[in-house]
Amino acid sequence: MGEHPQRGAPGFNNHHWWQLALGIVCMVMVANLQYGWSLFINPLDAKFQWGRAAIQLAFTIFVLSETWLMPLAGYLADRFGARPVVMAGGLLVGASWSLNAFADSLAVLYFSAAVGGIGAGAVYSACIGNALKWFSSQRGLAVGLTAAGFGTISAATVLPMRAVIQSQGYENAFLYFGLGQGLIVCLAAWGIRQPAAGEIKSDIVRALQSSRDYRPLEVLKAPVFWVMYLMFFLVAAAGVMAIMQLAPIAKEYKVANEPASILALTLPALTFALAIDRVFSGLTRPFFGWVSDRIGREHAMGIAFAIEAAAIVALPQLGHDPLLFVLLTGLIFFAWGEIYSLFPAACADSFGTRYAATHAGLLFTAKGMATLLVLAAIAVLPPTGSWHALFYGAAAMNVVASVLALLVLKPLRARQFAADGLRR
């Protein structure tokens, strides 16, 4: 069902790279709802005196609604096609930030955040699912580039947004960017479509791929899915834990305000470390996706998770130097962000592409579960004043995930492929 034209119809929208480009544009346009939010906290607080914590709750609502509704958005994209879901997401995104421009109460701000989260989740699920369906031999690279649109590429919009806030007020920034981003998503959605049955003719498929298309309820009964879910949970939680400890480490080692220079750019070490988050965690998505297309998903996972564990362990040993603090932090980000390409690609390889968006959405809830658990643990556990336990715990979780990838997931998927047959 959905918007499939006849196979062979003329036009750019038949080309898989064109479809990928449209998906990336949509991802860039919705990323600001997450990555640009911090620019509005102080102006909102200055006008209404709501307090930063109360304003930040809107962001939590956004993340939760985005994450937990992804399976539903993915199912709708699989059922009716990516185009209407992306278009609906664009409308919701535009409505969310436009409403923020006129919000005069926390209730309105929270409602708007929920609307925006649903819209961003719809666009994310549909675009990731579409990339998985259009690509087979380069699936890891394709989904990595799409996911990078939600991170690295969107950084280019931060400076224009800041300029509008400073010159015309946060209200106009919400309104202009909300309407503009929503409109671009809707326009791009007109060119998005899913491939018709038999339309995709792959060349050399290096990654193993099942010849069977699993339904969502079947996936939830498959051991392979739950092993990947556990791994995703471990790495996502470990990344959140490690990133949250960077400030305490920098403070203890007295490098937070020490200058660090890379390629003629000099910033305080902690500021520099946090600034490269989006860049490194974005670049790693297509990089490790491309690597996994060539050496296999499990091998790429094992390597990436082991690198992150090593970087986490090395940071307390070498982080007294401002430059090494920044470089090792960048390596942690680089070895963490690849989960957003490797796991969706491995999921589509294992369970087919008919319900790829649904399955990727189900798997993505592991990130939401990990974030909730880390935040709950921090809120419940008594403060010890030390970052060591959580930091080394994060390294251990990456080691476990790396071992699971090579010693559990790989043979488990091999047995499933043998039972299902391989796609040729």
Q: How far is CA 414 from CA 34, 132, 302, in A?
A: 38, 20, 16
- Are 185 and 281 found together in one domain? no
Q: Report the sign of the C-alpha dihedral through residues 172, 176, 179, 182, in that order.
A: negative
> Do 207 and 297 form a contact (C-beta atoms < 8 A)?
yes
How much is the average pLDDT of 63-86? 94
Whether residue 152 sits in one domain with residue 238:
no
Residue 197 placed within a domain? no
Domain shared by 364 and 307, yes or no: yes
- Confidence band for 199, pLDDT divided at 50, 70 and 90: confident
When divided into structural domains, the chain yields a total of: 2
pLDDT tens string 145-179: 999 988 776 667 777 888 899 999 999 999 999 99
Per the domain annotation, does 198 fall within a domain? no
Last residue within a domain, chosen from 189, 207, 231? 189
Inside any domain, residue 196? no
Pick from 9-13, 52-56, 101-105, 182-186: least confident: 9-13
141 and 37 in one domain?
yes
Closest CA to 146 of 362, 348, 405, 368: 348
| 3 state SS of 15 | coil
The region of weakest confidence among 235-239, 274-278, 359-363 is 274-278
Rounded to the nearest integer, the mean pLDDT of the chain is: 88
Q: What is the pLDDT of residue 207?
A: 65
Instruction: In whole angstroms, give the CA distance from residue 110 to residue 376.
Output: 21
Q: Is 130 within the bounds of a domain?
A: yes
Q: Is residue 339 part of a domain?
A: yes
Reading the block at residue 189, the tokens are: 């959605």
Write out the two tokens for 396.
């251990």
Same structural domain, 39 and 172:
yes
Same structural domain, 227 and 315: yes
Q: What DSSP string runs through 189-209?
A: HTT--PPPTT----S---S--
Q: What local confidence, expressed as pLDDT, does residue 278 receive?
A: 74
Residue that wins the pLDDT comparison between 2 and 375: 375
Q: 120: closest CA among 36, 32, 60?
A: 32
Alpha-carbon span 231 to 405, nearest angstrom: 8
340: pLDDT confidence band, cut at 50, 70 and 90? very high
The CATH number of the domain holding residue 377 is 1.20.1250.20
Q: What are the phi and psi torsion angles at 9 (to 5°)? A: -60, 145
How far is Cα 326 from Cα 271, in angstroms, rounded to an integer? 9
For residues 275 and 175, membership in a common domain is answered with: no
Q: Is residue 77 part of a domain?
A: yes
CB hemisphere CA count around 94 (13 angstroms): 17
Q: Mark whether 146 and 268 lie in a shared domain.
A: no
Q: Are residues 232 and 94 in the same domain?
A: no
pLDDT band at 6 (very low <50, low <70, confident <90, very high): very low
Q: Are residues 167 and 255 in the same domain?
A: no
Q: Which residue has the higher pLDDT, 391 or 412?
A: 412
Strands 259-262 and 265-268: antiparallel
pLDDT of residue 286: 95
Residue 153's CB is within 10 A of a number of other CB atoms, namely 17
12: pLDDT strictly greater than 50: no
Q: State the helix-helix crossing angle for 106-134 and 70-80, rounded to 10 degrees.
A: 50
Q: Does the structure show a pLDDT above 60 at 1?
A: no
Q: What is the mean pLDDT of residues 190-198?
A: 85
pLDDT band per the 50, 70, 90 thresholds, residue 33: confident
How far apart CA 135 and CA 114 sit, in angstroms, is 32
Assess whether 21 and 95 both reside in one domain.
yes
Do 243 and 278 have their domain in common?
yes
H, E, C per residue of 236-252: HHHHHHHHHCHHHHHHH
**Amino acid, res. 13:** N
Longest dimension (CA), the chain: 64
Whether residue 240 has pLDDT greater than 60: yes
Specify if 318 maps to a domain: yes
Q: What range does the domain containing 110 cover?
A: 12-189
Residue 6 falls within a domain, yes or no? no
